[in-house]
Structure 1
């Protein structure tokens, strides 16, 4: 049974779907300059089209997950809450092996920070999780499934990063994604979104 507080939270977060209006015509192609950084962005454009996800939302989720200096990074990792940006795929694989051998369980990988503990079984290997195409494809499909289940992109985004029983983390994450929508020119702050994120 859903508590009154949970129902209120769901209604509030659902409103954010319309609170940060997307800006038509904005494109990722302006967002990345280097070949390595552009790998994630190119895959986001294709996956957004394939799964019917607004490009700005998928890109802003990625930017919230692995963004550094305004672009995504394919070899980014987060190990037990600490971010790492290895210089290459080989360095990332070595870091993963060390972390895994030392007992780390919560290891997020690649462009969209797919958690190896919870989602690794859906990939052929750790190497596949670092592959920008496989990583973004999986994230887009997962976000699309969340959208189908929760019926708004805002709730899908909230659940992408934080589970259903973690409202404070969902709010923080949604507000960070909205901030990235605005910063990249895909959206704008509305009075309601700004108020919600300041509270």
Structure 2
């Protein structure tokens, strides 16, 4: 039996009447105490706690969950009521930035890069440590700060249109602008946390929506950097060419990257 189905069975047995049980205590983002009359049980939630801001910050946020009635769902496990609808407790914790799930789906990527909840206190390199696969995360973070830096952190919902940068509050907002640009025959824009140029690299994405996904943007950036390195056999040139193969703007870009890398290494 899978862990998910086992959890669903536990909750189904524990909750003979819908919403009879409540959350008595939130031990951590991965453990909650459920109470049903005199019975108590600890339910486990898959993932890793996000404690960059410390446990007290999480404890303060989680206080509103105590006393809430819970339900169960065969697919999502424990559920709680949010705005008059039942939502997965695990998904709520991920969305609010207190739980890193085993698989970084789109909501998890957004929480990490928007710095929600516990991610608010993570360093600039944290998203890249989690989502990188081949390139040093410090290098990726330094490039991202060049490309989409906002208040000392890379922002995922960023566009650069014909040389002018725009920062959007949500992915949906950025996506609407991307689709409008494409509908008007425009391709002179960079998109996402790594600011991939749509005109040159649209074929690397499954869709414009996919181009905004932080993990996808990082993967494509890694591909471009590795291709640049294969051509130049130089890490410095691979980074400079990410912006431009023209020596003048490329060197200026590399100098900005070096400043960001120094800040990252200093833990700023």
TM-score w.r.t. the length of structure 1 is 0.68
Root-mean-square deviation (CA), in Å? 2.6
The offset of 1:122, in angstroms, is 1.2
Counterpart of 1:190? none
Counterpart of 2:143? 61
Q: Conserved in 2, the CA contact under 8 Å of 1:43 and 1:136? A: no
Counterpart of 2:209? 127
Larger radius of gyration, structure 1 or 2? 2
Q: Conserved in 1, the CA contact under 8 Å of 2:129 and 2:137? A: yes
User: 2:37 matched to 1:37?
Assistant: no
Q: Conserved in 1, the CA contact under 8 Å of 2:156 and 2:192? A: yes
Q: Distance in 1 between matches of 2:125 and 2:176?
A: 25
Determine which structure has the larger strand proportion and give its number: 2
- More displaced, 73-82 or 100-109? 100-109
Q: Which runs of 5+ in 1 are unaligned?
A: 1-28, 188-199
Deviation digits for residues 21-52 of structure 1, max 9, x if unmatched? xxxxxxxx89xxx744348955521454x21x
Q: Distance in 1 between matches of 2:137 and 2:171?
A: 26
Counterpart of 1:149? 231
Q: Distance in 2 between matches of 1:152 and 1:177?
A: 15
Q: Conserved in 2, the CA contact under 8 Å of 1:37 and 1:71? A: no
Q: Distance in 2 between matches of 1:120 and 1:167?
A: 25
What pairs with 1:108-187 in structure 2 (closer than 5 Å)? 108-163=190-245, 166-185=246-265
Q: Distance in 1 between matches of 2:165 and 2:188?
A: 12
Give the match's secondary structure for 1:78. strand
Q: Distance in 2 between matches of 1:151 and 1:137?
A: 20
Counterpart of 2:170? 88
Deviation digits for residues 57-99 of structure 1, max 9, x if unmatched? 1110011000010101111110010100111111101111233
Q: Conserved in 1, the CA contact under 8 Å of 2:131 and 2:218? A: yes
Q: Conserved in 2, the CA contact under 8 Å of 1:56 and 1:186? A: no
Deviation digits for residues 155-176 of structure 1, max 9, x if unmatched? 100111103xx11111110001
Give the match's secondary structure for 1:77. strand
TM-score w.r.t. the length of structure 2 is 0.52
Q: Conserved in 2, the CA contact under 8 Å of 1:106 and 1:116? A: yes
Q: Name the structure, 1 or 2, with higher relative contact order (CA <8 Å, separation 6+).
A: 1
